[in-house]
């Protein structure tokens, strides 16, 4: 009876990607891009599959073996189906999938939603269902869907990924969908409706600056308003922020004797951030030290904790950081990390992590109990990249996580006028806007009139507000800031959602410092995300009185 009811519900209720039982914890696996780029072939991939088993990676949880760009032939076959590059994969893609499965692993593959992949091989645009059917026939379990050339699709990212989701469902095969879009705000436009993970960053490189920058896209305020304290509230079982694949074992900038600590810092960050753990090193020649980092059981357990809370910062002074990730067993994981080049002491006090009194502390890398500590714990003399990954507290009822930013602070929730500067932006690239002031912090003035409300920008600046389909009009007055004395031109544009669809709702054209202000008063229909853009470099401009009007 229960089964019958469930069956009927499944047939009638749209199932959100995050509810379909896939990726309840961050996906773990290996991907070919970081080490081989497009230089992959049958021999290498089989050897990697073997090494995933013999190195203990598979048993540590790394299940998906994902072939990135470079696996396919330049032309589709006579039935429009994708085919393997005949030189690299003479046995075909089903055979390599069978081999991967025979090792107790799952099979992942790369495609692109544009006309071509980033390596200019056939993309899926216009062939969405055929390609998803082909992948299902080959036994694919995971698809990384990239976004090169998708700006020519004329579809918004949310439309593209919803289409893939539908096509995947059409195959009847459970397949994880990984959104690869260079950090284009999938958390904002509802990536979790379609996919299990989405990139938050541009590509990661094998040096620590890049690793810290990628981590910041998920943990810090680089991609979202600082009030959110990173993207943690958008992650959870079945939907994860992806700061890109691991470079553990590939690091180029750290001196030899510092490599292990740098590798560990990278891995600890990905684990505390509940990031997907897709190894990207050559497993055939992996050193013992790298293997130990990638398979550290107690550090992985933090990443894979079933409660699925993404860790968030409770302290950050630019160099020293403290992260907290409440776990399902009543304890909490804490990372104390020194990114700076001076030695430092770092303290976590229990009141910052929902605990009090005397608490047991365990070192998760050393796998030893450090004892009981009253009110706080201090790690002393941490050099650059040095850190402590700890478990604090006793088993029991789960400790509460931080409060998420409530909807009314970042979406339109009521009838009438909502000033955008009364909402937090949900995505940002390049210069973040100033609120109710010019970019330089002065009152916004246009043609002798002072505006109390508005957004002060400096090109290049692009940011999104989540209006959730509740805004019927958008109104603002735009002008180059009167402080500007240069000759550069500025251009204000309002987009529906993101750059990919190029759905420009309003365009000021080029404006100089002498151009009169322009008024915007446009109708919005079913717009979920408004993206405001000011180009070009160094030109300051204002969106005065920027507001949406909701008639219902
Ligand atoms: C990039 C993507 C990389 C890799 C590459 C393949 O767009 O971010 O992770 O997949 O394309 O060409």
260 phi/psi in degrees, rounded to 5 = -65, -40
507 is catalytic: no
Residue 246 Cβ inside 6 Å of ligand 1? The answer reads no
User: Distance from the CA of 541 to the center of ligand 1, in angstroms?
Assistant: 34
Q: Per-residue pLDDT tens for 205-225?
A: 999 999 999 999 999 988 999
CA–CA gap between residue 290 and residue 296 (Å, rounded): 10
Beta bridge partners of 387: 337
Q: Which neighbouring-strand residues pair with 379? A: 346
User: Which residues have C-beta within 8 Å of that of residue 166, sequence separation ≥ 6?
Assistant: none
Best residue among 33, 206, 279 to mutate for probing ligand 1's pocket (most ligand atoms within 8 Å of CB) is 33
Residue 3 has pLDDT above 50, yes or no: no
Confidence of residue 18 (pLDDT cuts 50, 70, 90): low
CA of 65 to the centre of ligand 1 (A): 16
The pLDDT of residue 65 is 98
Average pLDDT over residues 265-285: 98
- Number of Cβ atoms within 10 Å of the Cβ of 102: 9
* Residue 28 alpha carbon to ligand 1 centre in Å: 18
Among the residues of 224-366, which ranges form H helices? 259-272, 288-294, 297-303
Q: pLDDT tens digits, residue range 97-114?
A: 999 999 999 999 999 999
Q: Across residues 141-169, what is the average pLDDT?
A: 97
Helix (H, G, I), strand (E, B) or coil at 537: coil
Average pLDDT for 519-539: 96
Q: For residues 402-425, give the mean pLDDT.
A: 97
Asked whether 33 lines ligand 1 (CB < 6 A), one says yes
- The mean pLDDT value for 360-378 works out to 98
Q: Which atom, in ligand 1's list, is nearest to the CA of 118?
A: 12
Tell me how crowded residue 465 is: count the other CB atoms within 10 A of its CB: 28
3-state secondary structure 324-345: EEECCCCCEEEEEEECCCCCEE
Mean pLDDT of 259-277: 97
203 lines ligand 1 (CB under 6 A): yes
Say if residue 8's pLDDT is above 90. no
Catalytic residue among 146, 244, 305, 545: 146
Q: Is the CB of 116 under 6 A from ligand 1?
A: no
> Which residue's CA is the closest to the ligand 1 atom numbered 1?
118
What whole-number percentage of the chain has pLDDT above 70? 96
Output the pLDDT for position 10: 37
Strand pairing report for 449-451 and 320-326: unpaired
Going by alpha carbons, the residue nearest to atom 3 of ligand 1 is: 203
CA of 543 to the centre of ligand 1 (A): 35
Q: How far is the CA of 537 from the centre of ligand 1 (A)?
A: 27
pLDDT score recorded for residue 16: 62
C-alpha–C-alpha distance, residues 86 and 95, integer Å = 13
Helices 259-272 and 208-219 cross at an angle (nearest 10°) of 10
378-392 burial by CB neighbour count: b if 16+ within 10 A, else e? ebeebebbbbbbbbb
Distances from the Cα of 404 to the Cα of 233, 235, 433, angstroms: 6, 11, 22
pLDDT at 7: 35
Torsion of CA 417, 421, 424, 428, to 10 degrees: 120
CB neighbour burial string for 153-164, b if at least 16 within 10 angstroms, e if fewer: bebbbbebbbbb
Band (253; pLDDT cuts 50, 70, 90) = confident
Reported as a single tens digit per residue, the pLDDT across 22-48 is 999 999 999 999 999 999 999 999 999
pLDDT over 80 at 17, yes or no: no
Atom of ligand 1 nearest to the CA of 146: 7
Q: Tell me the pairing of strands 277-279 and 312-316.
A: unpaired
Instruction: Specify the residue for token string 């998420």.
Output: 404
Closest CA to 444 of 544, 518, 539, 519: 544
Q: Which has the closest alpha carbon to 230: 238, 240, 243, 220?
A: 220
Residue 256 pLDDT exceeds 80: no
pLDDT (tens digit per residue) in 105-138: 999 999 999 999 999 999 999 999 999 999 999 9
CA end-to-end span of the chain:
41
Instruction: Report the distance separating Cα 516 and Cα 384, nearest Å.
Output: 52
Q: Please, what is the angle between helix 93-102 and helix 128-138, to 10°?
A: 40
**Taking Cα atoms as reference points, which of 70, 35, 27, 31 lies closest to residue 205?**
35
Average pLDDT score over residue span 80-96: 98
Q: Confirm if 227 and 187 have CB atoms less than 8 A apart.
A: no
Instruction: Decide whether any atom of ligand 1 lies within 6 Å of the 146 Cβ.
Output: yes
pLDDT tens sequence across 343-359: 999 999 999 999 999 99
CB 180 near ligand 1, within 6 Å:
yes
Taking the mean position of all CA atoms in its chain, how far away is CA 195?
12
Per-residue pLDDT at 251 exceeds 90:
yes
What phi and psi, each to the nearest 5 degrees, are found at residue 242? -120, 100
413: Cβ below 6 Å to ligand 1?
Answer: no
Q: What is the pLDDT of residue 255?
A: 72
DSSP code, position 266 = H
Distance CA(244)–CA(40), nearest Å, equals 20
Mean pLDDT estimate for the chain? 95
Q: How far is the CA of 148 from the centre of ligand 1 (A)?
A: 8
The residue to mutate among 180, 202, 245, having the most atoms of ligand 1 within 8 angstroms of its beta carbon, is 180
CA gap 489, 511 in Å, rounded: 5
Residue nearest to atom 8 of ligand 1 (CA): 203
Query: Which pLDDT score, from 0 to 100, does residue 15 have?
Result: 53
H or E element at residue 520: strand 518-523
- Cα–Cα nearest to 137, from 103, 175, 111: 175
User: Of residues 50, 98, 137, 203, which has the active-site annotation?
Assistant: 203
Distance 204 CA to ligand 1 centre (A): 10
- Is residue 315 within 8 A of residue 345, CB to CB? The reply is no
Q: Say if residue 5's pLDDT is above 60.
A: no
C-alpha distances out from residue 428 to 433, 465, 497, Å: 9, 9, 12
What phi and psi values does residue 344 have, to the nearest 5 degrees?
-150, 150
User: How high is the pLDDT of residue 78?
Assistant: 98
- Nearest ligand 1 atom, CA 68: 10
Taking 50 as the threshold, does the pLDDT of residue 497 lie above it? Answer: yes
Beta bridge partners of residue 368, listed in sequence order = 363
- Does residue 330 carry a pLDDT above 90? yes
pTM for this predicted structure: 0.95
User: 112 an active-site residue?
Assistant: no
């Amino acid at each position: 009876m229960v089964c019958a009811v469930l069956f009927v519900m499944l047939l009638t209720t749209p199932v959100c990607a995050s509810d379909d039982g896939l990726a309840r914890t961050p996906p773990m696996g290996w991907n070919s891009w970081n080490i081989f780029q497009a230089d992959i072939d049958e021999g290498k991939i089989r050897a990697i599959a073997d090494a995933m088993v013999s190195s203990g990676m598979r048993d540590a949880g790394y299940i998906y073996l994902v072939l990135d760009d470079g696996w396919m032939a330049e032309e589709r076959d006579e039935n429009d189906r994708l085919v393997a590059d005949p030189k690299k994969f003479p046995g075909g893609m089903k055979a390599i999938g069978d081999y991967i499965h025979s090792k107790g692993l799952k099979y992942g593959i790369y495609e692109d939603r544009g006309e071509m992949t980033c390596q200019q091989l056939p993309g899926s645009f216009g062939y969405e269902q055929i390609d998803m059917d082909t992948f299902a026939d080959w036994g694919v379990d995971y698809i990384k869907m990239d976004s090169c050339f998708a700006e020519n699709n004329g579809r918004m990212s949310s439309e593209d990924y919803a289409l893939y989701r539908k096509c995947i469902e059409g195959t009847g095969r459970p397949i994880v969908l990984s959104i690869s879009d260079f950090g284009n705000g999938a958390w904002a436009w509802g990536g979790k409706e379609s996919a299990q993970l989405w990139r938050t960053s541009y590509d990661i490189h094998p040096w620590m600056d890049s690793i810290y920058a990628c981590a910041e896209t998920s943990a810090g305020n680089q991609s979202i308003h600082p009030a959110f304290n990173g993207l943690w509230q958008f992650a959870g079982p079945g939907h994860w922020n992806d700061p890109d694949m691991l470079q553990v074992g590939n690091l180029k900038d750290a001196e030899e004797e510092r490599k292990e600590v740098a590798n560990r810092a990278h891995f600890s960050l990905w684990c505390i951030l509940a990031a997907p753990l897709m190894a990207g090193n050559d497993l055939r020649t992996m050193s013992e030290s790298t293997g130990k980092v990638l398979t550290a059981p107690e550090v992985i357990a933090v990443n894979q904790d079933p409660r699925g809370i993404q860790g968030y910062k409770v302290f950050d002074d630019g160099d020293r950081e403290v992260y907290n990730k409440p776990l399902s067993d009543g304890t909490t994981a804490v990372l104390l990390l020194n990114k700076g080049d001076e030695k430092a002491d770092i303290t976590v006090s229990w009141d910052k992590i929902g605990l009090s009194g005397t608490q047991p502390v365990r070192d998760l890398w050393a796998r030893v109990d450090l004892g009981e500590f009253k009110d706080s714990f201090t790690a002393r003399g941490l050099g650059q990249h040095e850190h402590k990954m700890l478990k604090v507290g006793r088993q029991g009822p789960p400790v509460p996580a931080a409060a998420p930013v409530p909807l009314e602070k970042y979406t339109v929730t009521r009838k009438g006028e909502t000033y955008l500067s009364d909402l937090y932006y949900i995505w940002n690239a390049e210069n973040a806007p100033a609120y109710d002031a010019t970019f330089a912090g002065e009152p916004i003035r246009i043609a002798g009139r002072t505006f109390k409300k508005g957004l002060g920008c400096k090109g290049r600046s692009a940011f999104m507000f989540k209006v959730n389909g509740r805004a019927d009009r958008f109104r603002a007055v735009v002008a180059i800031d009167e402080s500007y004395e240069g000759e550069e031109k500025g251009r204000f544009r309002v987009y529906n959602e993101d750059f990919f669809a190029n759905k420009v709702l309003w365009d000021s054209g080029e404006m100089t410092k002498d151009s009169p202000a322009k008024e915007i008063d446009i109708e919005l229909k079913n717009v979920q995300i408004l993206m405001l853009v000011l180009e070009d470099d160094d030109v300051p401009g204002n969106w005065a009185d920027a507001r949406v009007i909701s008639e219902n």
